[in-house]
Every structure is written in C-alpha cells, then in structure tokens.
Chains A and B, each alone.
Chain A
C-alpha cells in the first residue's frame, strides 16, 4: 500500500503543533528557538510532500524552496542564539518572563 499526500500532511501538522507547543509553553529562550525551528522543518516537509505528489515541474520548485528555507532557518538560528547570548550577558538570565523592562 502506498501512502497518500494526506498522511504526510498530517505528520507535518503534528510536527508543527509540537513546535507551537514548545514555542508557547516554554520560558527558556533557547527552547522557544527550538520550537520555531521545528515549525520551519514542518513547513519544509509540506513543501517536499506537495512537490512529490504533484505533476512533474521543471525546475523542481518544492525542492528549491525547501533549500532556501533551510538556509534562512540557519541564518535565523545564528542571529537568535547571538541574541540569547547578548541578553544573557546583560540580564544574567535567559528566561523570557524576566525580560520585562524597556530600560536596560
């Protein structure tokens, strides 16, 4: 039995929801970043699945967009983690609940 597109979309929806759970309920900045990365991975899975299940296209659009999105996710992770380190240096915490001052 071969899987249908629905199966992949449901897997991707589940991964997205788990990423959302991590981003919403954790208070540690690095965890929030992990959640966002998981949501991006779920989006990539959707791109690849739609590319595979649609008629052939030249150039392979889904694959290209997934590659670009991975590159952007890497840039986002680098800047995000640099921010975490900068914030930690300043406030000595990475708990986002404690970062409630506009004045530094």
Chain B
C-alpha cells in the first residue's frame, strides 16, 4: 500500500504512456519528456505562487504586522491578483536600450533557472532528467544566469542597471567557486556525479537511529553551511542582495524592466532559489530519505518537499532578521574565509574516508576542520574588522 502511494506519480505517467504503445519510439520519448516538463512546471510555478505570498506573510509576522490578507482566504489568492496586475501593466523599453539584448535577458534567466530543476531527484524514481553528469549539468546551466544578468544590465543602458549587473557578476563569480568546491567532498565520497546515486548513498542509519546523511559528518555539516551561504548569495537574497539593493541602486539590473518581464525576473529568482535548496537537500540532507526509520511509510516526495520547505523557511527568516551587507564585506568573506574553508572540507572528507568512515574518521575530520577554523579566525583578526566603523564622509 505505502509503496503504491510512494510511486503513484510514476504509475500515473506509465498509465498515460500506455495509450501510446502503438506509436513509434521517438513519439513516446517526446511525450514522456513533455509529461515531465509539465509536471515540473506545474509543481514549481504553484510553489512559486505559494512562496511569494507566504514570504510576505512570514515577513509580516516577523515585523509585527499582518501581511497580505485581503484577497481570498488568508490572502492566499494574492499571487493571482499580483499576476493579473503584472500582465496588464505597460511594457516599457527605454529608447536608448539595446532592444534585442533587453528582450532576451529575462527569457534566458528563466530558462536557465527552470533547466536546473530538471536533474534533482524529487522522490524514489522521480528524477525528471537522468544524466551521467547531473551535478555538472546543474552548474553548467546555472552559470548561464550570470550572462543573463549581465545582458539585462547592459541592454537597459542605465547606470543603475550597469552597476547592479557588475555587482551581481562580481559576487556570483566569487561565490560560484565555493559553491562548486563544497559539492566536491560529496562527489568524492560517493564517487559519482549522478544525483540519484548521491541520494542512494545516504540511505540507512548508523547505530539504527542516526540517518546516514552527509550533514551528520563534520565535513558534511561544514560544507552544508558553506553551500547554504553561497546559495544565498547566488540567488541574490538578503543579506546578500547588494545587486538589487533598493536603497542604493533602485533595483539593480531590473531597474528598466516593467510588467511581465519584471515578473519573469522575479520568478527566475525564486525558481533559482528552489533549485539551489533542492540541490542542498539532495547533497547533504539525504534527498528523499526519511529521517526516522519508523516514518518510512510516508511517501518519499513528501520528505523531499518537507526538507525544501524547511530550507526555504530559513531563507525567509534570514531575510526578516539580517541587514544588508556591503559589497566589500561580501567579497572579503568569500575569498578570505569561505574559499579556504571549502578546501578544508575536501581535505576533511578525504581524512574521514581514509580513517575508515567510522567514529575515528568522524573525530579526525572534526579535528582538521577545527584547526583550520581556529587558524583562519586568528589570522583574519575578526575583532578588528567588526569594530565600530569610523564615518569619514557622512556625518
């Protein structure tokens, strides 16, 4: 019974495909891909709508107000109203803009974000697009975002757009490095770039109750935190939203976009966020595995989306509590702290592997990480860095 509920979507797809048994092979292939694509788009566009209203409601609660509560029950139909508003707004293209580049940028950024969703395993046998180098595909597609952001900034021909695009590229390139290097220990330990294999490697429980997720090893926990922070920067979220800092440069690379193009940028940002949190759940939080063996009857996709929602909640929480950082602080943090720590994760994972993947390896890798962390914090002299700022110009 629980197995059939677990596999209900897979069975549904097979049932849909039985209508086509007479058709030639390539038609079946195309229809199968189309089913995957529509399922993916349906789920994640709904999640985007839900997230946009829930984020505003949670932020409202954090800031001691109600948030949207007028449209529909509890304000849940707010995204519909927003969508209609965006659709009927005038689409403005600046006269001096590079029209073609200005037009293509939102399309490219949305396409890149949606493509990246394709390789994540959402449940048992539920990977939309299985490919040998799935993780590499994710990052190859994700790196297109930088070009799209730049196209938006350049095409608008506006100084705020240009400034925003430059800031965005600077911070995205700086944080893409740790993002990839923190994935390396997982890839190294599993010995595969396929997300399905990485999830399968995290099955089972140590001592019968601790799930064998990578986040429960010292290197995994460190890599997870670093990955999460880098993902936060990659998706341009507060506290790292300098590229679109409203109080400094209007809206960064999105300044000259209006109506539905602006909505597309907004959607791409959220979908990129889903992709990066989904990858974090896959790599470190055991993907669709349940945390307790007694709860394994709950379908795998429910666990995956529970983990995704928990991570997304942390995103909203951070946005509600932390102020925006300065661009130089972000860059210093990336090159002086995050990058050395991510290399340490790779070394700690190797130590863990060669010390037998048991308790001894656990302790040794903890020692490696602790030594590097202490040395780095002594070297960087954080006390001085975060001392009260001296204002020279704005008094």
Direct contact of A and B (CB under 8 A): no
By a beta-carbon cutoff of 8 Å, the part of chain B in contact with chain A is none
By a beta-carbon cutoff of 8 Å, the part of chain A in contact with chain B is none
